[in-house]
Structure 1
């Protein structure tokens, strides 16, 4: 049995997450669609291998073609509307979990800001973050140790 590394839940607790891997990337996204999801600011996300994420609870989906040309699916709790995750047709090997969904002192924070060309002029982007004006290349999965 693989140990749980992260757990999460939406605001009302109807949707829960169990994650058994470390993220392959942590990002802050300033694309226009994410700004709409996050009430004007960026979404803050952790990308995990798909097979390490187990979700339960009723979720709705919003599917659209993003500026990158990829089909994106954003999932949210049907009861409270909390953003849960994003999926990209170009990266089915990952699930992008909204960092705010994670419980406890997980210590995850964005390491990179993406789609910064779309950020509003008042945006405060941490200068310590790696920046990408649009979509960066897909992250490489981290090697797993074999005992």
Structure 2
């Protein structure tokens, strides 16, 4: 990777930088992501948490996913921009919302997940890998336990 991947929230209170490329990029049609993306699929980039630097103070919301994993979703307390999520089943990984990237072009999905939850009008690129529910496991960073495959 030539230069760090950077981004932040709408008001600029939160900034982040990753020194590594994303492990995966995908569009998620789960019902929780539809709430976060104003009814559409959420476009998510998955990064090694250890390569991520965040400045500013985040607000968080915790909930339980269909898998039973605890999800922590972080956002800017000033402008409300959804920024990050972490799953208790995938320690060592952080999801960044593509809309928060300085270069949102980096968010091109490699696959779609939870396609069985998409509304009838939902757009799903059939030329990519599609999964009716969660995709196969994403490798954990070195030294971390294997991830659970559900979100």
Fold shared, TM-score > 0.5 on shorter chain: yes
Q: Which residue of 2 aligns with 1:110?
A: 109
Q: Which residue of 1 aligns with 2:51?
A: 52
CA RMSD across the alignment: 1.9
Tell me if structure 2 keeps the 8 A contact 1:50–1:94: yes
Give the match's secondary structure for 1:100: helix
Unaligned runs of 5+ in 2: 143-151
Q: Relative to 1, partners in 2 of residues 1:141 and 1:67: Cα closer, same or farther, differing over 3 Å?
A: closer
Tell me if structure 1 keeps the 8 A contact 2:27–2:112: yes
Q: Which residue of 2 aligns with 1:77?
A: 76
Unaligned runs of 5+ in 1: none
Tell me if structure 1 keeps the 8 A contact 2:22–2:48: yes
Q: What is the number of residues matched between the two proteins? A: 142
After TM superposition, the score normalised by the length of structure 1 is: 0.89
Q: Which residue of 2 aligns with 1:30?
A: 29
1:140 Cα offset (Å): 2.2
After TM superposition, the score normalised by the length of structure 2 is: 0.87
Give the match's secondary structure for 2:35: helix
Tell me if structure 2 keeps the 8 A contact 1:15–1:55: yes
Q: Would you say 1:136 and 2:135 are equivalent positions?
A: yes
